[in-house]
Amino acid sequence: MMCDQCGERQATIFLTKVVNGEKNEMHLCKKCAEEGQNSFFEDISLVNILANLSGGTPRVRQPEETLVCPNCGFSIERFRREGRVGCEQCYRHFAAELTPVMRKIHGSLQHTGKRPGAPVRQSASTEKTQAAQMTDLRQRLKAAIKGEEYEKAAMLRDEIRALEATTGGAKK
C-alpha cells in the first residue's frame, strides 16, 4: 500500500481516528508520519474536543452554520473554534448546538445548585405578590360596581392606579 500523503513511498504506519463513532483511517510512510504534515495530527485540545462533540468535524459548511448572536456579535464558528461563547444570550441563540454539547459534558441540563441570593428572589416574589394583589383589587372593584358601592369603587380604582404606577403601569 502506498502512502496516502506523498503517494510515493510504501505506507508502513497505519492510523485510525474515531470521532463520534466515525472511523477515519490513514496510511503513511515513515517520513510523512514523522513530518506530521497532515490534518490527521490535529491538536487534541479541549476546544477541538468540544468542536467535535458538537459534530463540528471540518466539513463543507452549510449556510445556516454562519449563525451570529445578535446581542454580542459572536458567531457559532467562533464557538466551534474556541469553545467559548460571547454573552449570556449566546446560550439562547446557539441552543441547538450548545444543548447537546452540555448534555455530553455534564450529563444533565438542569442546574440544582445555588441561585441568586435574597434580593433577586425577593424581587421575583414581590412581582408575584403585586400581580396577585392586582387581580384581587380588580375583582373587588367589579364587585363594588355591581353592588353600586361607588365610594368604595373609587377608592379601589385609586389603589389600582397606585399599584400600576409602581409596576410601571404596563397592565391596563
Partner 1 sequence: MSVWEITGPGNDIVVSSRVRLARNLAGMPFPPAMRPGQGDEITQKVLTGVQNREEFNGYRFLQLRALDETNRIELVERHLASTDLLRNPDVGGILLSQDETVALMINEEDHLRIQGLLPGLQIMEAANRALNAEKAVEQVCPFAFDETLGYLTSCPTNVGTGMRASVMVHLPALKLIGMLKPLIDSVVKAGLAVRGIYGEGSEALGDMFQVSNQITLGATEEDLATTIQAVCGQIVDREQTARDALLHSKRLEVEDRLYRSWGILKHARTVSSKEFMQLLSDARLAVGMKLVDDVTQTDLNKLMIAVQPAALQKHAGRELTVEERDIIRANYIRSALNK
The contact set with partner 1 (CB under 8 A) reads: 46, 50, 71-74, 78, 82-88, 91, 98, 101-102, 105-117, 119-120
Nearer to partner 1, 94 or 153 (CB): 94
Between CA 125 and CA 128 the distance in angstroms is 5
Least distance from C-beta 93 to partner 1, angstroms? Answer: 13
Least distance from C-beta 69 to partner 1, angstroms? Answer: 8
Least distance from C-beta 66 to partner 1, angstroms? Answer: 17
Least distance from C-beta 114 to partner 1, angstroms? Answer: 6
Nearer to partner 1, 83 or 160 (CB): 83
Residue 130's identity, in one-letter code, is Q
Grid cell 496510511 in the structure block, residue: 27
Q: In whole angstroms, what separates CA 163 from the centre of its chain?
A: 36
Which DSSP string do the residues of 64-107 spell out, in sequence order?
GG--B-TTT--BHHHHHHHS--SSTTHHHHTHHHHHHHHHHHHS
Nearer to partner 1, 28 or 86 (CB): 86
Nearer to partner 1, 25 or 82 (CB): 82
Least distance from C-beta 162 to partner 1, angstroms? Answer: 27
55: left (phi over 0), alpha (psi -120 to 50) or beta: left
Between CA 166 and CA 171 the distance in angstroms is 11
Nearer to partner 1, 108 or 129 (CB): 108
